[in-house]
Amino acid sequence: MIPTLILIGVLFGRWWRTALVGSALGWPIMLVVTGVTGVEPGLVGASGLAILNTGVGVLVHQSVRWAVREVRRSPTPRSGT
C-alpha cells in the first residue's frame, strides 16, 4: 500500500497541499475502516508515514515538471544551413 501513496503523490503533485492533507487523513481512516487497526495513538505515526510517502511522490512530480519547463525554456539550436 505504501507505493500507492507515492503514486498518489505523483499523480496529484500539482495540487501538493491537497495530496498531502488527503493522505494524512485518508490513510489512517482506511486503516481503521478496513479493520487493520483500531483507533489508537499509532495512527499518528501512520499519518506521518503517509505524508512522507506522498511527499516523495510529490517531489518526483514537481521535479519532472521543473525539468520539462527547463527543456521548453531552453532555446532550440539552429542548424548551420
What predicted TM-score, i.e. pTM, was given to this entire model? 0.78
Opening angle at CA 63, ends 14 and 44, nearest 5 = 65
- At residue 44, the pLDDT reads 92
Question: pLDDT tens string for the chain (81 positions)?
Answer: 557 777 888 888 889 899 999 999 999 999 999 988 888 998 999 999 999 999 999 999 999 999 999 888 877 777 665
Instruction: Compute the C-alpha angle 36/41/44, nearest 5°.
Output: 85
Amino acid 30: pLDDT: 92
